[in-house]
A and B are shown apart, each in its own frame.
Chain A
Amino acid sequence: MSYFLELVGSGLTRGSIYALIALGYTMVYGIIQLINFAHGEIYMLGAFIALIVAGALTIHGFSGWAILLLAGLVAAVYAAAYGYTLERIAYRPLRNAPRLSPLISAIGMSLFLQNYVMLAQTPDFLPFPALIPEFAFMEPVAHIIGSAEVLILATSAVLMIALTVLIKYSRIGKAMRATQQDMAMARLVGIDVDRVISFTFVVGSVLAAIGGVLVGSYLGQINFTIGFMAGIKAFTAAVLGGIGNIPGAVLGGLVLGLTEALAAGYVSSAYEDVFAFGVLVLILILRPSGLLGRAVREKV
C-alpha cells in the first residue's frame, strides 16, 4: 500500500509540473489557435536561469529558501521576457498568415532556443542544487512522499488557483476570455487584443519557468533538451484534457503524471511513455475533444 501511495505521490508531482506547462499551451491555443511548440523551451530556460542565479547567490552566501525564492523570481521574470519576445518576433508578424506558418515558426524558435542554450551553456547535463529544503514535519511520511514533492504540489496548486481567480475576476482575465470567445468582437468593445495575447504568453511563460525551477531542484540535473520532452508531455496533457480548456490542462497533466508513475512502478520505467501516449490515444478515440473539451462547432 505504501508503495502505491509513493507512486501516486510522485505521479501527482510529475503531473502537476505537466499541468503548469500545459496551461501555457492551452491558454495560447485557446486565444490564437496556435500550438506554441517553443513553450517547452521556456520551461528549460527557466531552469537554466534559476541554476545561474542559484550559483551566484550561493557564492554570495545566501542559503536555502532565499535562493529558491530569488532564483524562482528571476527565472520567472526572464521567462516572461522570453515569452513576450517570442510572440512579438515569431508569431505576431504571422497573425494573418495561414495557420501552418506560425506553427513552422514555433518549431523554428524551439530549435533555435535549444541550440542557443547548448552553445551558450553546455551540451552536457549540469547538476542542479537541491534548493528545496527538507521539512521537519514531513519526517513521519518521508518514506512515502518527500518534501520536494509536497512543495511542488503546493506551489502548483497555489499557482493554478491564482490563475483561475485571475481569469474569472480580473479585468485582463475577462478580456482574455472575451478574446478567446470572439476576437473580432473583443476588438469592438475596445479590448487591445495584441496586449491580451502578449499577456497570455507572459503568464504561460511564468508558469512554465516556475515548473522548470521546481523540476531542476527535484531531479537534480538539467540540460538543453529537457524542454523538448517536457513540452511534448505537457502538450499531450493539454490535448488529453481538451486543448483550450484550463481545468482540462490541469486534469490532463495529473492523469498523465499518474499514468506514467504507475506504469513505471508496476510495469517498467522503460514503458512509461508507452502508457502515457497510450492513454492519449485511448481518450482521443473515446472523447475526441479531450476529457473536458467541448466539441467545436465551426462558425460560418
Chain B
Amino acid sequence: MLELRRAQAGYGRIQALREVSLEVGAGEIVTLIGANGAGKSTTLMTICGVVPAQAGEILFEGESLRGLSPDAIVARGIVQVPEGRRIFPQMSVLENLELGAYLRRDSAGIRRDLEHVMELFPILAERRHQPGGTLSGGEQQMLAISRALMARPKLLLLDEPSLGLAPLVIRQIFAIIRRINAEGTTVFLVEQNANQALRLAHRGYVLENGRVVLADTTEKLLGNEEVKSAYLGI
C-alpha cells in the first residue's frame, strides 16, 4: 500500500532521513521504532508532504506522492495523528472532529462517522461543546485519533500516541488502535515505547540516525538481542 524507497529528507542542511526504505501492506499494523532524533517524525512528515523528500521514492497504491501538497495527500487517504496531538485548542471537540472531515462532502457519511467515533470514545460525546484545549492529555489523544478517522483514512499514521499518557490510558488507546485496524484501516505507528508498539504491530522497522537498520516481524524483533538491549531495556 505504502512504500518508501531510499527516501531522503531534511531541514535545510540537516539531513534527518539518510535512507529510509520500508513498506506497509494493506490491512497491516506496522511500527517504526527508534530513539529520540532518529528521524521517526520526519519520516511521517515526509510521507504527508510537509517535509519535502529530497531523493528516493514514496509510493502509495502504486503512485508517487513526491511533490504533492499535504492536502492532496490527505485526499488520497493518508492521514496523520501528529506527535503532541495538536488539537485546535480554541475550537470545540465537535469542530475539531468536523475539521477532520474537511475534504469530505458527504454530510450523511460525516454524521455517521461522528456517531462512530463518539461510540469509540464516549467521553468525546460528553465533551462535544467544550474547547479542545481544555481536555486532558488522554482525551486529547482520543480526539486526535478521532479527528483523523473523520477523514476516512485508508492509511492512518500515528506519531507517538502514548507520549505523556498514564499506563492505563495507553492500554486503552492501543486497544482502540487494534480495533480501528480490525475494522479495515491500515496503521503505521511510530513509537518510542517500543515494547507496547511491538506487541501491537505485525511487523516492525528500527530507525537509527535516519536509516532503517532492522526490519522484521514483531515476534522476531521482540526476541532480537540488540533490540532488547537498546529499545526494550531488558
Contact = CB atoms under 8 A, between A and B. Distances in A.
Contact of A187 (B50, B75, B88, B100): B50
A174 B50 contact: no
Interface string A180-197: 011011111111100000
Contact of B151 (A182, A184, A189): A189
B148 to A, nearest CB: 8
Contacts, number: 60
A188 B82 contact: yes
Contacts of A187: 48, 50, 70-71
B157 to A, nearest CB: 9
Given A174-B95, A184-B50, A189 B90 contact: no
A245 to B, nearest CB: 11
Contact of A181 (B71, B91, B147): B91
A181 B50 contact: no
Contacts of B88: 177-178, 181-182, 185
A16 B99 CA distance: 33
Given A188-B50, A190-B75, A191-B102, A182 B86 contact: yes
B70 A175 contact: no
Interface of A: 171, 174-175, 177-178, 181-182, 184-192
Interface of B: 48, 50, 69-71, 74-75, 79-80, 82, 86, 88-91, 95, 98-100, 102-103, 147, 151
Given A187-B48, A187-B70, A190-B102, 16 more contacts: A171-B102, A174-B98, A174-B99, A181-B89, A181-B90, A184-B50, A187-B50, A188-B50, A188-B70, A188-B82, A189-B79, A189-B100, A189-B102, A189-B151, A190-B75, A192-B71
B78 to A, nearest CB: 10
Nearest to A294: B90
A76 to B, nearest CB: 28
B48 A189 contact: no
Contacts of B102: 171, 174-175, 189-191
